[in-house]
Each structure stands twice: as C-alpha cells, then as structure tokens.
Structure 1
Amino acid sequence: MKGESVPSWLELLLTTQFFTICMSHLSSARNECNLFCIDCEAQQSAFCYYCRQCHHSTHRVIQVRRSSYHDVVRVAELHDILDISDVQTYVINSATVVFLNERPQQLRSCGVSVVKASSSSYNCESCNRALLDAYRFCSLGCNLKGIKEDMETTVVMGNITAYTKNDDDIDLSTESVNTGNNNESCSDTDLCKEKPPPAKRHRRKGIPRRAPFF
C-alpha cells in the first residue's frame, strides 16, 4: 500500500465496529452488521445482509469476517481495490485473509502481564509482532500507521532541505550586496585614486673613502 494510493475509506473501515445487531432487522436471521460499503463514505457504518439488498445492491461492498475474535477480510475482496503487498497474509478456513487491526501480544501468567518472546526472523515494523513471511506489517492498521510515519518523516526532511537551501541563498545574496556596496564606495574618483608609489631611496655605491693625509 503506497502513500499516494491510500484510499480515503480505509481509515473509516479500520475504525468501524462490526458484528453488532442491525436495529432495522431485529427479527431477521442474518442481521449481524458485517458489511462495509466503500462507495458510501459519508457517515458510513456497518450494515447487514438485508440493508445491502435495500441500499447497496449496486455498490462495492466488503464483507468482514471473524477469526479468534479479530476482524479479517479475504484477500480476494481487496486485491483489486487496495495494495496489500506489504501486509502479512494468513490462510484461515481455506481462504487467504488479512487482519484489519493490530492484535494484542500479551499473555497473562499468575496475574502478571508478560510479552511473548518470538524467534521469528520477520517482525511488523509498527507493532513488532512476529510475522510468518518477509512482510512489513501484520495488519492493514499497522500498514496505515507506517505510511503516516513515512509521510511525516518525508515532510520533516523536506523542511530541513528547504531551510538549508534558504540559508545558502541568504549567504549568496549577502555577498552580492556587500560587493555592490564596495563598488558604490569606489565611485568617487578622489577616493579611488591609486596612492603614488613610495619614493625610492638611492643607496650609496660603495664605502666612502677619505683622501689620504700627506
């Protein structure tokens, strides 16, 4: 998932609560809200099978599933609308899926929380979860978090570069101004006349000799 191709509905998908009971179809059998429409972003929320038939029959809809109490989406439903090449995939019930959000990594032992040690060679760049393969992130949520951090780093580095360039420009402009002032100060012919060279002193040709006394 590249920074310039992140869809606007992704963050809304990651913050939506799924598997609640649809209040419009309380007496129906398939009334759990496990669907999300990526074409209806305004005030979006999860909806059930019957809501889809009534209001989203022609829209692009994603079905969210559960694995060990965590939300997942099948890769087959995302590969055409989202770049997930950096996200670890898992095979669950013969289907390849990705997790929506980061999962807890702590185990409780005797009432004390401890972090499970990992010998994996690959780890999520965002939450440090052990990965099965050479991916960068464990979930779509961690991927989005990593993209935001990369964008912030790019902005900071861009500001530093611009600041450095501005300093160089100021130095050059200062030098040009000083040069201009020097030229203006020499415009007066009286001040710019060259000083006459110092008078040369003639050395005696030899040691003076007195006439001999007779």
Structure 2
Amino acid sequence: MKKELVPSWLELLLTTQFFTICMSHLSSARNECNLFCIDCEAPQVAFCYYCRQRHHSTHRVIQVRRSSYHDVVRVAELHDILDISDVQTYVINSATVVFLNERPQQQRVCGVSVVKASSSSYSCESCNRALLDAFRFCSLGCNLKGIKEDMETTVVMGNKTDYTSNDDDMDLSTGSTANTENNRESYSDAEYCEKPPPTKTTRHRRKGIPRRAPFF
C-alpha cells in the first residue's frame, strides 16, 4: 500500500468495533454487526445484515470475519479498492484473507507471558511478527503505521537546513581577511626595512678660551 493510495476510510475501518449486537434488530437472527460501508463519509459504526438492506443497499460494503478472535477481510473484497501487495495473506477456510490489525505475539504458559520462537526469515517491519512469505507487514494496521512513519521521516528530512554554503562563505571570508592581514604585515615590514638608518651627529666641543666683552 503506497501513501498516495491510502483511502480516507481505512483508518476508520481499523478502529471500528465489530461483532456487537445490533440494537435495532435485537430479535432478529442475523443481527451481528460485521459490515462496514466505504461510501458513507460520515463517522459510522458497524451494522448488521438488515441495516445494510435498509440503508446501504447501493453502497460498497465490506464484510469483516473472525479468525481466532481477530478480525479479517477476504482479499477478494479488497483487491479492487485497496493496494495490499505489502501485507501477508493467509488461507483460512479455503479463503485468502488479511488481518485488520496487529495481533499479540505473547502466549501465556502457567500464568507467564512467553514469546513464541519462530524460524522464519521474514518479519513485519512494524511489529516484528514472523511472516510466512516475503511480505513487509502482517496486517493492514501495521501497513498504515509504516506509511505514517515514512511520511514523518520525509517531513523531517525536508525541513533540514543546508548550512554548507554559509560555512564555505565564512571560510572564504575568514581566509580573505587573514590574507589581507598578512599582506599588511609584509608591506609594513618591507616599508620598515627600506627606511635609511638615522644619521649620527657629532657634537664638537668649542676650543680656546671664550672671549668676553670688556667692561667700560
């Protein structure tokens, strides 16, 4: 399932509680709520066979089934409306199905939770459950979770700022300044060396006896 092919009703399907008794048909035989409509955009709950005949007769409806107390859907009902190429499929009662949500991986032995070991070389990328074949996810729920994580990673990578050009400019600027200072120092040294040494002046002592004007 690709992120651009995720329908708006999928997350609602995965969070809907099925196999409850329809309150509108308590006395009827087929009053188990195991149907879901993908055409109704408003928030809804699961409904029974009689509700379908009355309110959803022209809509596209998915029937949810049970396998070992977990909800499954037949692949035949999904292949035209949903991309499930990454989800592990199972054959139950001669029908190929996929699980809706992640299943617990722990078993209780004498009151202690034990994780069942598996020799499979394939595992779910979301919950790490062992898979039978080379699929990426064990259920539709894990597939959707993996898509959301990929989208979050894409957003984070897109918000990163590239500071390479600024650093390069800074280095160039610093280097230019350093070169200028070196040139100034070299020029000053050359200028200092070109100045002639100061000339020494010898002071001569006056010879002879000083003559004074006569007093009259």
TM range (shorter): 0.7 to 0.9
CA deviation after TM superposition for structure 1 residue 168, in Å: 3.9
Letter in 1 for 2:136: R
In structure 1, stretches of 5+ residues that fail to align are 183-194, 202-214
Q: Distance in 2 between matches of 1:174 and 1:113?
A: 59
Aligned to 1:133: 133
Aligned to 1:62: 62
How many percent identity over aligned positions? 84
Q: 1:100 to 1:175 in 2, by over 3 A?
A: same
Aligned to 2:37: 37
Aligned to 1:206: none
Aligned to 2:208: none
Q: Distance in 1 between matches of 2:46 and 2:95?
A: 22
Aligned residue pairs, count: 183
Q: Distance in 2 between matches of 1:128 and 1:174?
A: 47
Q: Distance in 1 between matches of 2:88 and 2:135?
A: 5
Letter in 2 for 1:7: P
Q: Distance in 1 between matches of 2:68 and 2:75?
A: 18
SS at match of 1:154: helix
1:142 partnered with 2:175:
no
Aligned to 2:2: 2
CA-to-partner distance for each residue in 1:119-168, whole Å, 9 max, x for gaps?
A: 101111111111110001110011111111111111112222xx11xx24
CA-to-partner distance for each residue in 1:77-136, whole Å, 9 max, x for gaps?
A: 000110000000001111100000111111112211111111101111111111110001
CA deviation after TM superposition for structure 1 residue 46, in Å: 0.3
- Aligned Cα root-mean-square deviation (Å): 2.4
CA-to-partner distance for each residue in 1:155-184, whole Å, 9 max, x for gaps?
A: 112222xx11xx2454577799x7xxx9xx
SS at match of 2:73: strand
Aligned to 2:95: 95
Aligned to 1:209: none
Aligned to 1:116: 116
Q: 1:69 to 1:199 in 2, by over 3 A?
A: closer
Q: Distance in 1 between matches of 2:144 and 2:5?
A: 11
Q: State TM-score, norm by structure 1.
A: 0.78
In structure 2, stretches of 5+ residues that fail to align are 178-187, 197-216
SS at match of 2:103: coil
Q: Distance in 2 between matches of 1:143 and 1:149?
A: 10
Q: Distance in 2 between matches of 1:113 and 1:40?
A: 41
Q: Distance in 1 between matches of 2:107 and 2:167?
A: 59
